[in-house]
Each structure stands twice: as C-alpha cells, then as structure tokens.
A and B are shown apart, each in its own frame.
Chain A
C-alpha cells in the first residue's frame, strides 16, 4: 500500500461507492487515510528480527497472509542463516534484508514487526515511526529511560499505532481476572506480589572469539558499546545480560507487571521509590540477578508492588485444572502474581501468551451494574484495529514504557545497591547523579535514537 494522499483505485471505489449509495454507512475513520489502511485493506508488513520470537511472529503473520489479513513483503535479520530460513517461511516474492533501514525506506510497507534483541527495540521503533510505519515491537519496550521517552514521543509525533508484545493483556483469562478485580471482589487492593523462578547462571562459560561467518556482529550489537563476540551473548541468551535483556525481571516482568498495571488501573502512573536486592551469578558472562527482591512504592493512591525471583520450591503452587478452562491447563506455573485486597486475595499464573486466572475469577458472574472492562480481540487484532482506526492499542507505547521503566529501575537499584527515588511526572530519577546518568546510555554510531 503506497503512503500518499491520493486514493488508490480500490480506495476510490470504496469511498465513491459509500458516498453514492450508503453515505454514512462506512464511518469515515475506517476509510483509508494517509498512514492508515482502510478497513478492508490488507496491511502490508515487514519483519525485523526473524529468529526466536520473531520466527513465531513470522509464522503467525504468514497464516494471516494466507487468510488475506496481511501481506508480508520483507524479512530482515543480521544473521544470514536465520534470514534464509525466514525467506523460505515467508515464501516467494518476499525480499530479504540484512539492514532494517532498507525495510524502512520501502514506501509500500505499512507496518513492521520488530523482534530483535532488546537493546534494539528503542532505536528501531523510533526509526520505524519516523518513517511512518506502524509498529509491533517485542517486549520489554526499552532498555533505558531515555529510550522510552523517545519511543513515546516518536509514536505521538508520527501518529503511528504501536503495540508492544506484552500479550498477556489480550488473553481470555486476563480479561476475566481484570473484570473480577475491578468489581471489588477482593476489596481494595493495596499490594501485588509478583513471583518468578530465578534467572539462570551460565554454567558453560566460553571465551570471546571471532563471530561466525553468517552473523553481522556489528549490526547485532547495534547501539551497544562494542565488545568482542561471545556465543554466550547472542540469540536467546542476550536476555541474561543486564545491558540487553536484563534478566527475568525485564523479560517476564514486562508481562506480569503489565497485567498488574492494567488491572490496577495504574497505566500512566509510577512508583515514588524502588528498592532492590538480589544475588549475582557466580561465574560466566551473564550478570543479571539470579534471585531478586524489588519493592515499588506507589503514592496517591498508595499501594505496593513487589517483584521476587525466588527458588522453585518457594513458588506458589499452581491450581489443578481440567484443561477445559478458557486458557487451558497451566503450562507455565513458575510465574504470576498474588493480588492482596482488603477482603481477600487473588492469584494468576503466567501473564504472557499463557495467562491463567484463579478459579473464583473464572466462575464469577457479573451482576447488574457490574463494571465492564475492555476485552481485547487478540493482541495482533487489537493492533490492526489501532492501525486502521487510530484507536489506542491495549499495550500502547506509553503503557509499555511505564512497565519497562519499572523493570529498568528495579535493575538499576540492584546494580547500584541502593534505593532509587523516581519522579513519574518528569520521568526522572531524583537525588542520585550516578543513577541519573544511567537513565540513558550513549549509543554507538550510527545506531542511535
């Protein structure tokens, strides 16, 4: 789909037909506009980062392409092996690229799916928005406070629809949990305790070496400061390094805390203090906290959220299920959150693509006058709706940055070994010059915001 002010033949026919016969039947906001495909148009997509989660997104979108929802025109990766595989998956006519900036130059691309390592999310989302592309970007949204600010500003300025991949908000049992909680079933909630199993330690450290031939190491590192290649710092395992993935708190915190902020009605708010302790790996390259205990204190309204990475034998026991529940059986019982209210408690497990609510929330029937909450049609569907109508997505960039900031601040407090004070309105750390400097991280030329 070309991004011009002129109507395509298809758009012209749709608009003219609507005007001539049923002038008000099709709301004006679903007709194609510059930057926004029309309701019946296929969204033209490209995929940046096609291994791991990116491979999953590509397969999902290929299924959607087969159903006529989207058209994939490009795939992109810094790893030629992954790229070749993705080109095969995407099928004939889909152009492979190593450098995502070629993708952003294409005028026919409406939207990009970014599933690169975490240290690329901020820069690539901002660049995509600056090129007028709608964006689905994997979580966590950003690695630094500065990146988050730039992402929010770029989405707003360029009027693009951004969905961040904290898809727990769109799960069927997330809706049931949300509805249960906002209707006061456990009273006033003043504490949410998130739990997770530990981050792993590198039990097989290896020395730095030359990168494999298929990998563009410079491009893979992108905005990060240069370091020699190490195969324990690459696909998948980047998430155990503080400067990139940041450990479980960022990887899964971006899911579990996302549910908490959504269900607590706390999007757009933030804590006033963050205090973390944790244990560090005893060997190897990975440096994210193995066990961790973070306390976020919110004011006006007053509540507390905690994030705890704990030994497996300390985790809450998962509920027995039949498998016929909306979310099926609990396949990932090792993380979730306990909501503590004035008249009871509620627990959920998972929080990502698998989100499981405690039985009492699933069985609760809303009575007359019960509050309703937004029910996502699906995380991608919600994004498509955002693209076509301009509606706010369920995990829009402002909300996602708010959640990512929690994880960033938790890690900063852990790294620094002290409590951090946070000014939510200014989006700044208060009274700690070193921590303030760490709100941003200079980026390597030319891979910058």
Chain B
C-alpha cells in the first residue's frame, strides 16, 4: 500500500478521491497498448484493481483510438461486475460512489450513459438523486429513466414519481411506463406499446 501511495497522482477533473496508484498506472498503460492481446489481458484483469481505476478508465474511454476506448470501457465493466459479487458490499459501494462522479455535467455523454447502466447493476438508494437528476437531461433522460426502473426499492419509485410530475409532456409517457412496471397506476398516460407509428414507403405489388 505504501508503494501505491508513493505512486499516487491526481487525475484532473476525475471526481471524488481520484488517485492513480501504480496498479492503475500499469492498467492504463496496458489498456493503451497497441497490441490487442495486451489490451485484452489488461481489461480482463481490471476487476481487482477496483475503484481506484474508475476515473482513469473513464478518461481512457474517450481515447481517439476506438479499440483503446473500448478496452477501457470493458475494464470498467469488469470492475463493476467484480465489485457486485456477493459479500463485497464495501467494494461495491466504493465503486458505485466513484462511478457517480462520472455523471457530472462536464463528462462526455457517452461516458455518462455507460456509467448510468453500470449503476443500474450496483447502484443503491444513495445514488438515486444524481441518477434522477439526469431525467432532466434530454440526451440522457431515457437511460436514467430505465436505470431507475431497474434499481429496486422505494427510493427509485419515488424518484420516478417526482420526475413524472416535473418532466416535460413529451417524456411523461416514458416515465409512466416505468411506474407501471414498478406497480404504480398512472392516470392520463395510457400504455402505447401496441400503437403503430411508423409508415413504410414500400408499396404492395398490384393484384
């Protein structure tokens, strides 16, 4: 741990407790390696590096090389899946808290969207507020709505209900869908799943 501390350095704008330990530095170096084999081995082994790598991997998710960005994203998912294992509550909470830092307005939309879905697997009531806040963001509101639908407990339902009250008209039907799924009755916004909307330009052959 002391060696880790010695190798710590800040990651600009990376959020709560952003630190770069030796393990994180090595992971990022390998994630950015030009060899697909090295990158793959790195992201497959990222789980145990844990929350300390969250911010640096999020940064690498925006790398101009799509394969590096993809390896970083997969590494982050590995961390989420590892942290979500039974009996690892503290680790899961740590990872979730650091992921929540990636929901901030200054982060790229693609990173925020991916983060939302990561939180759908390990997020709990303490993270409902930042997720629910994104229901007012036009680019992310549908993902935020779905993620709240997935997180069990009363807090996510309450957030959906609050979001329903304040959301613009064109999004109320979406939230109503989630509320019905969570067992709530919603008046005035009937289910439209069977209502067709999309017309083709293809014509039938004449009889």
Contacts and interface: CB of A to CB of B under 8 A. Distances in A.
B200 A93 contact: no
Nearest to A431: B86
A432 interface: yes
Contacts of A101: 194-197
B37 A442 contact: no
A225 B198 contact: no
Contact of A444 (B40, B146, B199, B200): B146
A448 interface: yes
B177 A433 contact: no
Contacts of B70: 283-285
B86 A445 contact: no
A219 B39 CA distance: 34
A445 B174 contact: yes
B67 to A, nearest CB: 5
Contacts of B197: 99, 101
A12 interface: no
Given A416-B81, A442-B178, A447-B193, A99 B199 contact: yes
A283 B36 contact: yes
Interface string B18-56: 000000000000000000110110001001000000000
Interface residues of B, number: 50
A445 B196 contact: no
A98 B205 CA distance: 16
A187 interface: no
Given A80-B202, A282-B39, A416-B85, A225 B117 contact: yes
A205 B66 CA distance: 9
Given A101-B195, A105-B196, A446 B173 contact: yes
B9 to A, nearest CB: 30
B1 interface: no
A445 B173 contact: yes
A91 B177 CA distance: 39
Given A438-B121, A440-B150, A83 B202 contact: yes
Contacts of A440: 150
B161 to A, nearest CB: 17
A183 interface: no
A225 B177 contact: no
A97 interface: yes
A434 B145 CA distance: 19
Contacts of B181: 442, 448
Interface in A14-71: none
Interface in B174-207: 174, 177-178, 181, 191-207
Contacts of A376: none
A99 B192 CA distance: 13
A205 B202 contact: no
A96 interface: yes
A384 to B, nearest CB: 25
Contacts of B44: 280
Contacts of A364: none
Nearest to A103: B196
B198 A99 contact: yes
Interface string A177-197: 000000000000000000000
B37 A282 contact: yes
Nearest to B110: A228
B143 A226 contact: yes
A279 to B, nearest CB: 9
A444 B113 CA distance: 14
- Chain A contact-residue range equals 35 or more
A117 to B, nearest CB: 17
Interface in A278-324: 280-285, 287
A84 B196 CA distance: 20
Interface string B116-144: 01001110000000000000000000110
Contacts of A443: 146
Interface string A89-124: 001111111111110110000000000000000000
B163 interface: no
B204 A87 contact: yes
A207 interface: yes
A80 B201 contact: yes
A96 B204 CA distance: 6
A94 B200 CA distance: 14
A440 B121 CA distance: 11
Interface in B71-90: 74, 81-82, 84-86
A446 B196 CA distance: 10
15 contacts: A87-B204, A88-B205, A130-B194, A207-B66, A225-B143, A226-B142, A280-B40, A282-B39, A283-B39, A417-B47, A437-B151, A443-B146, A445-B145, A445-B173, A446-B193
Interface of B: 36-37, 39-40, 44, 47, 66-67, 70, 74, 81-82, 84-86, 117, 120-122, 142-143, 145-147, 149-152, 173-174, 177-178, 181, 191-207
Given A83-B200, A98-B198, A432-B86, 19 more contacts: A84-B202, A92-B204, A94-B205, A95-B204, A96-B203, A98-B200, A101-B194, A130-B194, A225-B146, A283-B36, A283-B39, A417-B81, A417-B82, A431-B86, A433-B86, A434-B84, A442-B120, A445-B173, A446-B173
